A and B are shown apart, each in its own frame.
Chain A
Amino acid sequence: MSTPDDVIEVQGLTKSFGRFQALNGLDLSVTRGEVHGFLGPNGAGKSTTIRVLLGLLKADGGSARVLDGDPWRDVVELHRRLAYVPGDVSLWPGMTGGEAIDLLGTLRGGLDEGRRTELLERFELDPTKRGRQYSKGNRQKVAIVAALASDVELLILDEPTSGLDPLMENVFQEVVGEATARGTTVLLSSHILAELESLADRLSIIRDGRIVQSGTLVELRGKTRTTIHAVLDRAPDQAAVALFSDVHLDGSKFAGTVDSNRIREAMDSLSPFGFVSLTVAPPSLESLFLKLYGDEQGGTAA
């Protein structure tokens, strides 16, 4: 599966903490130049995977390669070429944001002065405040500026926008876009689908320490279903709704999902009952996400 152009190749990665199995044979490959979305609910193992890729945790089994190096052994070499934004940024309480950016930048091997100034301006971040005075969003900005102000080949971003307001989230998307335009590869973990839908070229969905679905947005969309909500003149009969799944029928109010390529048939079967209102929601990752988790959780429970 892996090609020489893979920036991150992970195969069969396992890691446990005591009895808790955090990673359970995880495979992941990230190609050079892409924004790879890493999607999963809280506690699925996203941060653990990222920490293994950074050499902060030692994997129990499987193999992991980052930029053609071993993340555990070649720490210094690799870290010169990548930058990281943690999900929960904790700053030194007595140190200003500006000082923290300079420290992290210098330790990584220098930062681009011009871009540092520009990013501070775009994120409207005051670098003279102390770590303990920043709000969560502002701490996040400090880490984002520190990471994006250096010239690196790979950006590893662990839920980077948590705590950012919508305006700043926009700025963040622009900035990541510019980074990819420079040729930077991005691994972007998130549980917010909208963010990944607009940024990611490919997605891997993780659950219980394993990748359950992986592919481009188009590929994943193909696997999803269209949701239809309709208020009808009279209640439809059983034959009419046979085509749908997840059917909710409340008198004349109807909701259900249908394969995206069978919308036409669906409309035909409902129209005899007369539409009062109709919404057809395009396939979203949200539904895929819910389906994957809903189904499999049901599966494991059974």
Chain B
Amino acid sequence: MSTALVGTAPLLRTNVRYDGRLYAPWIVLATALPASSVIVYPWVFSTEQDRLGLSAAINSNPALGLIFGPAGDLTTVDGFNAWRSLALGGFLAALGAIFAVTRATRAQEDSGQAELLASGVLGRPSRLMAGVALALIGSLILGLVAGVVTSLCGGAWDASMLLCLTFTGTAWMLTGVAAVTAQIASDSRTANSLAVGALGVMFLLRGFCYSIQAPSWTIWINPLGWMQETKPAGTNTWWPLLLAVALTAVLVVVAFRLQSTRDFGQGSIAQRPGPARGKVRGTDRLALRLNRGPAITWLIAFVALGFVFGYFATSVTDILSSNSSVQQVLASGATTPEALAGAFVVTILSLVGILASIPGVQVMLKVRTEEMEDRVEPVIATATSRPRFYASNVLLAFAIPTVAVLIAGALIAALASSANIGVSFGQGLIQATATAPAVWTVVAISVAVIGARPAVSLAAWFGVLLSFVLTLLGPTFGLPEWILGISPFWHIPNTSATTVDLTGLLWVSLFTVAFLAIGFAGFRRRDLAR
């Protein structure tokens, strides 16, 4: 083994030096999430009354549980922090780890750097080893930094450290997953998609199983469930972290086995010869062709999401009726079960909408990637005008999320209407349609960024991030309405209400048009591949 791993140490040092800073944003995000919770909570929810109110509000909207998992004691700082940060913090840490592993292994093979390295004095498994080590060390640092900062900001030491080490645990397991997918896939994009897909499925299943109060074995077969079962600020159980370490070890061993049997630069799946003649004869078809894989994956994901959320909607009345604080609200006559169910459907469709905007933004980012890899240049050098080329991509960036929302919306509507919770199929579908304009606004922001200021292409995610924070986290911070109203999803009317107010959507669409105009004007005017 000693000669096999020759070169790992210098390689790791180089990785840390050049890729290490790419890890920094993930550490910042994963630290900001719990640290902000412990700072903001006592300030926003200063009285016992406020805290009970928050607890009731969160428990009465089971849609939130899909993302955040089960709520413990929301009347303490640490309980609130554990609920708000555990799932998302782990998710962020895992994303950082996945990208780090892929970048250090598969992406290097794609770009040819690995060939330079592999021809040097370097053991065969060393590159994978260095990549895995980078991610493991990075996520350990992430957990420790987040834990210490959170404790210093006012969290309890044991609860905060445990909470933040679950981030590390999640990231370690996904490091293993990414090490495996980097061997199976034949390029870095596929490797990333497979690993992120695995993370997404486990994430969704965790929230779903907890929310419908599924039998406990469904939690224990899900590695992310182990992290939840540490119950920071509750029982503070540390041993499930060992399960994460064990799984990580197993996955890494599998990855090394796979690597030792595959050819350099190839995946486990071999390439077949393709057609000698092309059917792609226009920019629309080109855009579709380039995004075909991810588009199909996303649409399948939204079918699954529709089923999960729809099934969840059918049990919403049961879940609500089992909650005592909701019972009190209902008993006081302040609202009706139908109204709660209607509000629930609006929330859940907003969630679907925010998720659906992700593939739209990805299509626009793909335009930039293609441009930087000099593949837009030959297309624009033909008799294709820039607006024509850009329009093909924008069209697709709008179409994929729209179809996704409608697919998931139709499934949710169908399942919800079958369960007699007071929402008909038509109502559900109309509500899903009303969500689409808000999704378009979020996607249009990325159209503007890629068109006019592509140097800051990360800003294309701004809309998604803002909507997510304001729509899901905003209410728990007790933010005023005008701030919540920055999110386009806040303006989606509840179409089951007696009078439906569409002015909000009109405003939102004006922004969409403005963003599109900026994007097209920018793309027409700027230098390409700069």
A residues adjacent to B (C-beta < 8 A)? 17, 51, 54-58, 75-77, 79-80, 83-84, 86, 88-96, 98-104, 106-109, 126-130, 132-133, 143, 146
Contacts and interface: CB of A to CB of B under 8 A. Distances in A.
Contact of B282 (A76, A107, A130): A107
Nearest to B292: A94
Contacts of A109: 382-383
Given A99-B278, A128-B274, A104 B382 contact: yes
A76 B289 contact: no
Contacts of B527: 56-58
A293 B97 CA distance: 49
Contacts of A84: 378, 381
Given A98-B276, A128-B274, 15 more contacts: A17-B530, A51-B377, A54-B381, A58-B525, A77-B383, A79-B382, A86-B381, A90-B374, A92-B289, A103-B281, A106-B282, A107-B384, A128-B275, A128-B276, A130-B274
B277 A56 contact: no
Contact of B281 (A77, A106, A126, A127): A106
A77 to B, nearest CB: 8
A107 B383 contact: yes
B276 A127 contact: yes
Contacts of A88: 374
A100 B274 CA distance: 12
B282 A56 contact: no
Contact of B290 (A57, A76, A92, A96): A92
Contacts of B271: 130, 133
Interface of B: 110, 187, 271, 273-283, 286, 289-290, 293, 373-375, 377-386, 525-530
Given A99-B278, A102-B280, A132 B187 contact: yes
B374 A129 contact: no
B381 A79 contact: yes
Majority-rule SS of A interface residues = mixed
B275 A96 contact: yes
Of the listed residues A107, A127, A128, the one surrounded by the most CB atoms of chain B closer than 10 A to its CB is A107
Closest 7 CB pairs of A and B: A99-B278, A102-B278, A96-B274, A107-B382, A128-B273, A98-B276, A108-B382
Contact of A91 (B283, B375, B530): B375
Given A57-B527, A107-B379, A108-B382, A86 B374 contact: yes
Nearest to B280: A103
A83 B277 CA distance: 20
Contacts of B526: 58
Contacts of B530: 17, 57
Interface residue SS majority, chain B: loop
Nearest to A106: B281
B384 A90 contact: no
B281 A102 contact: yes
27 contacts: A56-B527, A57-B527, A58-B527, A75-B380, A77-B383, A79-B382, A79-B383, A79-B384, A84-B378, A86-B374, A86-B377, A92-B289, A92-B290, A93-B187, A94-B293, A96-B275, A96-B278, A98-B276, A102-B278, A104-B378, A106-B281, A107-B282, A107-B283, A107-B379, A107-B382, A107-B383, A127-B276
A36 to B, nearest CB: 18
A89 B275 CA distance: 20
Nearest to A116: B277
A56 B289 contact: no
B273 A76 contact: no
B383 A86 contact: no
B53 to A, nearest CB: 53
A103 to B, nearest CB: 5
A76 B380 CA distance: 9
Nearest to A108: B382
Nearest to A93: B187
A11 B381 CA distance: 22
B267 to A, nearest CB: 11
A104 B528 contact: no
- Residue among A75, A100, A109 with the highest chain B CB neighbour number at 10 A: A75
Contacts of A57: 527-528, 530
A93 B107 CA distance: 13
Given A56-B529, A57-B528, A99 B383 contact: no
Contacts of B276: 96, 98, 127-128
A207 B529 CA distance: 23
Contacts of B277: 98-99, 102, 127
Contacts of A103: 278, 280-281, 286
Contacts of B373: 90
A132 B527 CA distance: 27
Contacts of A104: 378-379, 382
A108 B383 CA distance: 5
A95 B110 CA distance: 16
Given A96-B275, A129-B274, A75 B385 contact: yes
Contacts of B275: 96, 98-99, 128
Contacts of A17: 530
Contact of B278 (A77, A98, A133): A98
A108 B187 CA distance: 30
A128 B110 CA distance: 20
Given A57-B530, A99-B275, A143 B384 contact: no
B464 to A, nearest CB: 26
Nearest to B286: A103
A80 B381 contact: no
Contacts of B273: 96, 126, 128-129
A102 B281 CA distance: 7
A127 B527 CA distance: 32
Contacts of A80: 383
A77 B110 CA distance: 37
Contacts of B279: 99
B278 A100 contact: yes
B187 A99 contact: no
Contacts of B374: 86, 88-90
Contacts of B381: 54, 56, 79, 83-84, 86
Given A88-B374, A107-B282, A56 B528 contact: yes
